Amino acid sequence: MDEELSRLVKMAVSQINAGMVILDANHNIVLWNRFMQIHSGVSEGEIKGKNLFEQFPELKGTGLKKKIQSVFLLKNHAFTSWEYRPHLFQFANPHSVIGDDKWMQQDCTFSPMIDETGAVTHVCLSVFDSTNTAVYQKKLLRASGSLMKQRNKLAEINTKLEEAQNQLLQSEKMAAVGQLAAGVAHEINNPVGYVNSNVSALEGYINELLQILSAYETCEPALDQNNELIEALTQAKKSVDLDYLREDLGDLLKESKEGLDRVKKIVQDLKDFSHVDESEWQHADLHKGLDSTLNVVNNEIKYKAEVIKNYGKIPEIKCLSSQINQVFMNLLVNAAHAIETRGTITISTGAKDHGVWIEVEDTGSGISQEKLPRIFEPFFTTKPVGSGTGLGLSLSYNIIQKHKGTISVESEPNKGTKFHIWLPIDIESDDNSDANVA
């Protein structure tokens, strides 16, 4: 029976679908089973008694000797895994028809062979073909890698969508403000119109009345027989201070007309600024836009800063002027907010590289180097909670981008900030349809 068992064990070692190699303490090969013979193409007879590291010199210096030593010394099990060492023996991939790895991927185990005294006499090396697992594992890794990529992409798109939505909200708000302004302007325009014409008519009437009064006055000497009448006239003139009245009437009318002109100007600026009815790309004079914006935000600025205009000679550019005005307004209001007590805001313009540049420079508190790269991000604000939405500059940035222009910033804390905008004279016509959307 023992003989039969031994025959079966031998047969099993030979037939098992895994490589089996037995090594002695000098790394000489004692057993080389059928699996090893088939895949290596070397028969047991050829290799038996030969040193493993001489037969397979590529195994030298790869930590294998230590592994085997640890098995001898510690009665340990040692392993190699295809994940970190794809193969110990370079055998062709048995999945030769469909498969993407050239070599068989192997998991190997080094086990101690212990005699009856408890000493390790040999090491048994088993080699398992893990090519299938490896192929699936690699596929899975690739799949999960691309899933991860897609996930990240989606997350990015999501963030962009959120930003876009917020900007949309902000620009709708601005549009609503613009409409309101235009409405108010229109409503004021009517009364201002008739007050203006009435004042003009009034001026004429008063002049005529004064002429008649002068005519009467020339008749006064004819009344010298009647002292009582002369006395009454002189008294009446004195009581109304006729000379002063004459003088002041002119001034009052002049001032009223000036006031009306100012109201008309403001109304016109409000209309220019909002451009509610002009959502189309048109050629516009940026100086006009700057001036009307300055008038609209005059209240924010006048107590804080002196405005210096260094306007150069610039051509008209094709733009959405109401949106460009929004950018100017943002920059001007920010500049005013940055100035704590009193400073200057310098607006400079010029032409360069088939475009126009505009600079808004303030002598305010400046922006620190850490914050500077973030100021165009949505919701980023240095203003106290509640006073800034953090959307102004990001909106400006997007408007300038839509115009295929650039916006950049330089700043030094406690010295001031300078925004530089460049806009092309005419953005490529084929992009206009896209730009028109927002």
Partner 1 sequence: MTRLKDQFNEDRRDALQEVVNIAMGQAGDSLAKLFGTFVELSIPKFHLCDVTELNQVLSKNDAYVEKMTILRQPFSGQLRGEGIALFNNSGVNELASLMGYEGEVTFGNEREMLLDVCSILVGACLNGVASQLEISLSYTAPTIITKDTTIEEFFKPESIQWRYAMIMEICLTLEQYDFTSNMLLFLSEDSFPPLMDKLDHMLDEL
- Residues found near partner 1 in the complex (CB under 8 A): 60-67, 69-70, 73-81, 83-85, 107, 109, 118
Question: Strand 305-310 and strand 343-352: pairing?
Answer: parallel
d(C-alpha 131, C-alpha 99), whole Å: 9
Compare residues 132 and 197 and give the one whose CB is closer to partner 1: 132
* Residue linked to tokens 């294998």: 64
Question: 196-205 — which CB contacts under 8 Å span 24+ positions?
Answer: 196/257, 196/260, 196/264, 199/253, 199/256, 199/257, 199/260, 200/257, 202/253, 203/253, 203/257
Of 80 and 323, which has the nearer Cβ to partner 1? 80
Measured from the CB of residue 63, what is the shortest distance to partner 1 in angstroms?
4
Residue 396 tokens read as: 């400006």
CB of 117 to partner 1, least distance (A): 12
Find the shortest distance in angstroms from Cβ 66 to partner 1.
4
**Pick 128 or 311: Cβ nearer partner 1:** 128
Closer to partner 1 by Cβ: residue 53 or 311: 53
Q: How far is the CB of 14 from partner 1 (least distance, A)?
A: 23
Residue closer to partner 1 by CB (options 84, 194) is 84
Task: Burial-class residue 154 by CB neighbours within 10 Å (0-12, 13-18, 19+).
Answer: exposed
Closer residue to partner 1 in complex, CB, 80/349 = 80
Q: At 124, is the secondary structure helix, strand, or coil?
A: strand
End-to-end CA distance of the chain: 92
Residue number with CB closer to partner 1 (129 or 291): 129
Q: Where are the beta strands (DSSP E) in 130-250?
A: none
CB of 78 to partner 1, least distance (A): 6
What's the min distance (Å) between Cβ of 31 and partner 1? Answer: 21
Minimum Å distance from CB 64 to partner 1? 7
Q: Is 278 exposed, middle or buried (0-12, 13-18, 19+ CB in 10 A)?
A: middle
Q: How far is CA 18 from the centre of its chain?
A: 58
